[in-house]
Structure 1
């Protein structure tokens, strides 16, 4: 089943550009998801980041809660278990997480909406490995956006000056062991992502499922050397649904597996806060008239959505 969602070698963006762009664009038009291999991020770097994240989540509850910012919408630091709830869902997700954002100077015009990062002093190497992975995924995301831009007739570097100060987030997630049977909650309820694209590195267990156009839930467990990249709502809106933001979820595993923790680390690539999300004229046709006559800033859209998922 998983093979139905394509996995592509990003090295072909250099060696076989036109064919790669066509195949990647087709995968996203159909699925909103693709796997990217040969991404160039060393496994040792990914493993080191996972190690510091696991060590943080193993800390006592009261220690972790020192890094929770009440009223901060989860923008930085720690968000405790049982807070985030998928849009329209009755039950909260079975997870806790941490947010790392972009490091920017204090005199940046974006400082008001992009607060400084918090770093847990109890976990040596957290900042080094956490922000190192942030930067690596930011670079990889820019390459994917270059290919997507070419596929819809934009310049290869079209996104470069619109994401260089993007309010992007690295989110290490811990799904604790599930010890009760027949609970109504799932690890992550069916949802779409808010941002431009999401890069998911090294989920430690199966559980990710993608909703196909036919209405079937398709499991997508990537190989160890593959990063899963999917379209978010901002890019769907910008491209007038040429690139769909596909519903996905993380289901609870069978009983024995459910007793084990699950970790995953998505990177949510956002535009600069003042970027105006306005439907690209090239994506408007007689068959696909503009669905969004009113533009909205990336920050305005983000705040609207954070309220919907109970983070604000």
Structure 2
């Protein structure tokens, strides 16, 4: 698990370098610096195992029944490692849900709410959900994924990078606590 965490962290930091370049922030390591405490005190990045048990063939399933309702992730980015069962759907720019079908040896990357806020909506958080598969054969399999939820360091102030003040400044930690309070 430690190796998995370290590999995920290294990948996340490389992605943040690309995001810094793509957003033309002037400092190609800006995002990396804002996530420098991943895996240490002062950063709330977390790994979560998401397990959906197999359903018996006689389970009464409605069309488009959800296992995990529509939501977006709270932080900067999420690295999602899926098995081959499927069920994850993402909402496209037209508001339609499309399958995020698993591809072997790939990692799905979601933009989180804090990244959307930070970029004043230039990058938008990925709304997603998990449906119960309609096919009996797939429904009878359990689904397993692992999410690496990446947060900026707790004390990082999330202010619109374009200086638009579209969103009020807030620390990464305070934003996360607000979202947890609203959700739970």
TM-score range, shorter chain: 0.7 to 0.9
The 5 A counterparts of 1:27-176 are 130-154=1-25, 155-165=27-37, 166-176=43-53
Offset, 1:185: 6.3
The 5 A counterparts of 1:1-312 are 130-154=1-25, 155-165=27-37, 166-179=43-56, 180-182=59-61, 186-254=66-134, 255-281=136-162, 284=164, 290-292=165-167, 294-310=168-184
In 2, the alpha carbon distance for the partners of 1:295 and 1:160 equals: 19
**Does the aligned pair in 2 maintain the 1:196–1:235 contact within 8 Å?**
yes
- Structure 2 unaligned regions, length at least 5: 38-42
More strand by share: 2
**Does the aligned pair in 2 maintain the 1:204–1:264 contact within 8 Å?**
no
For the residue of structure 1 that corresponds to 2:107, the secondary structure is strand
Considering Cα pairs closer than 8 Å and 6+ residues apart, tell me whether 1 or 2 has the greater RCO: 2
TM-score by length of 2: 0.87
**Does the aligned pair in 2 maintain the 1:276–1:295 contact within 8 Å?**
yes
Moved more, 234-243 or 186-195: 186-195
C-alpha RMSD of the superposition: 1.7
Moved more, 138-147 or 183-192: 183-192
In 2, the alpha carbon distance for the partners of 1:244 and 1:178 equals: 34
Offset, 1:246: 1.9
In 2, the alpha carbon distance for the partners of 1:181 and 1:259 equals: 13
Moved more, 218-227 or 263-272: 218-227
Offset, 1:259: 2.1
How many residue pairs are counted as aligned between the two chains?
A: 174
In 2, the alpha carbon distance for the partners of 1:219 and 1:133 equals: 26
Higher alpha-carbon Rg: 1
- Match for residue 46 of structure 1? none
**Does the aligned pair in 1 maintain the 2:88–2:100 contact within 8 Å?**
yes
For the residue of structure 2 that corresponds to 1:308, the secondary structure is helix
Offset, 1:207: 0.9
Segments of 4+ moved more than 4 angstroms: none
- Structure 1 unaligned regions, length at least 5: 1-129, 285-289
**Does the aligned pair in 1 maintain the 2:85–2:102 contact within 8 Å?**
no
Q: CA offsets per residue over residues 222-274 of structure 1, 9 Å max, x none? A: 32121111100000000000000021111111233222210000101111111
In 1, the alpha carbon distance for the partners of 2:175 and 2:2 equals: 25
Offset, 1:189: 0.7
For the residue of structure 2 that corresponds to 1:140, the secondary structure is helix
For the residue of structure 2 that corresponds to 1:230, the secondary structure is strand
- Match for residue 40 of structure 2? none
